Copies of this chain bind each other. A is one copy, B any other.
């Protein structure tokens, strides 16, 4: 149970782990006209990982809540991969998986610091999809050093490639607290890079867009990028996380260069998007972030006392984040404003959060997200230079 819900045969020859999660959101937006207040299932998943003969594992997971637009619903494959783990310093993964870029994106969405990733790391203009298809090598050559390198379609979740070229990328990161043997501490730094093309598909359309952190308004949009030879997208990023006991500071910077060599519906360009965030988190009840750190990522937290029918109240965490999205290079080719919509190229957001971690498998989160736009944005005919969102999330997982 400590390692999740695992059935095994005692010999270590095979084991089956079943996984599931449900995240229920209540979201309240201002301006009211931009988006209806709603209960929403953010994620509902069920899947299994089967490990056999020590070195082999296969994982299948379905996302049952990726469509919030009607009764019929659609369900999508999230993870569908094969692992060969004989060599801890060079594990091989093939199939559909998360390519690891940066610090927040590889992290399980069960453990994120806030309800949603920052403007810098969320899916949108820079990262079109959480999952991709291909092959990855990853591992920990030294106890303090972690890396991965991958070749993927670059066309995103549940998508065959739409061009012959593939995306390549990688990340390496180190925890110097481990190297220097400093207890109760994380001194994490890392760098990531990838190159490829946008990989437009029918589903993704021929444009790039960005939404606010709270799943609210789409404030950035550039379209018509698909004609001719496509658009190259090269990304690099730096990351750090510094934790001592119950306090953690974390920050990432990412630069994405979009180069379009031939003019089509849109002129040729060589534009950058620069994004970054910094956040500070405090476990009021005193748990240590170092205990949750493993293989270059923060994971499941075990409260000192679970919320139970005796005296336990679980853990409490408070957090504050600033994030910045700057696509001002694209200002001149933004999707043109209409009577009902208008876009901008820069936004910044402050997020304040509180998290009640009742036990390792259950938590309730409260996030307030205040997003400011460089120039006013129009959605559903309502113009504003600011979006406020309140998100409450209840989450259980196994």
Partner of A158, one of B50, B70, B81, B129: B70
Partner of A56, one of B13, B133, B361: B361
Q: Which residues in window 350-375 of A have CB below 8 A to B? A: 358-359, 361-362
Contact at A71–B159, with CB atoms within 8 Å? yes
Contact at B69–A203, with CB atoms within 8 Å? yes
Which residues of B sit under 8 angstroms from A16, Cβ to Cβ? Answer: 5, 18, 398
Per-residue B-contact encoding for A11-35, CB less than 8 Å = 1, 0 else: 0011010101110100000001000
Q: Which residues in window 159-179 of A have CB below 8 A to B? A: 159-164, 166
For residue A256, give the distance in angstroms from its CB to the closest CB of chain B: 19
State the copy count for this chain: 3
CA distance A19 to B395 in the complex (A): 21
Which residues of B sit under 8 angstroms from A54, Cβ to Cβ? Answer: 308-309
Q: Which of A60-68, A112-120, A141-149 lies at the interface? A: A60-68
Which residues of B sit under 8 angstroms from A44, Cβ to Cβ? Answer: 60, 77, 80, 95-96
Partner of A161, one of B39, B81, B94, B162: B39
CA distance A156 to B260 in the complex (A): 44
Whether, in the assembled complex, A380 has its beta carbon less than 8 Å from a beta carbon of chain B, the answer is no
CB nearest neighbor in B for A66:
B72
Partner of A58, one of B48, B135, B163, B396: B396
Contact at A396–B56, with CB atoms within 8 Å? yes
Whether, in the assembled complex, A297 has its beta carbon less than 8 Å from a beta carbon of chain B, the answer is no
CA distance A35 to B358 in the complex (A): 51
Interface residues on A, range: 35 or more
CB nearest neighbor in B for A397:
B58
Which residues of B sit under 8 angstroms from A358, Cβ to Cβ? Answer: 56
Which residues of B sit under 8 angstroms from A7, Cβ to Cβ? Answer: 7
CA distance A307 to B168 in the complex (A): 29
Per-residue B-contact encoding for A72-107, CB less than 8 Å = 1, 0 else: 111111001110001000000011100000000000
Whether, in the assembled complex, A41 has its beta carbon less than 8 Å from a beta carbon of chain B, the answer is yes
Whether, in the assembled complex, A328 has its beta carbon less than 8 Å from a beta carbon of chain B, the answer is no
Contact at A158–B5, with CB atoms within 8 Å? no
For residue A154, give the distance in angstroms from its CB to the closest CB of chain B: 10
Partner of A36, one of B41, B52, B65, B160: B160
CA distance A361 to B24 in the complex (A): 32
Contact at A76–B71, with CB atoms within 8 Å? yes
Contact at A161–B62, with CB atoms within 8 Å? no
Which residues of B sit under 8 angstroms from A5, Cβ to Cβ? Answer: 14, 16, 50
For residue A32, give the distance in angstroms from its CB to the closest CB of chain B: 6
For residue A214, give the distance in angstroms from its CB to the closest CB of chain B: 13
CB nearest neighbor in B for A46:
B60
Chain A residues with a Cβ under 8 A of chain B: 1, 5, 7, 9, 13-14, 16, 18, 20-22, 24, 32, 36-41, 44-48, 50, 52-62, 64-77, 80-82, 86, 94-96, 129, 133-135, 152-153, 156-164, 166, 201-204, 306, 308-309, 358-359, 361-362, 394-398
Listed by A's residue number, 19 A-B pairs whose Cβ atoms lie within 8 Å are: A1-B9, A24-B80, A24-B133, A36-B164, A39-B135, A41-B158, A44-B95, A52-B359, A52-B361, A52-B362, A53-B362, A54-B309, A64-B76, A68-B158, A70-B159, A70-B201, A71-B156, A73-B74, A75-B76
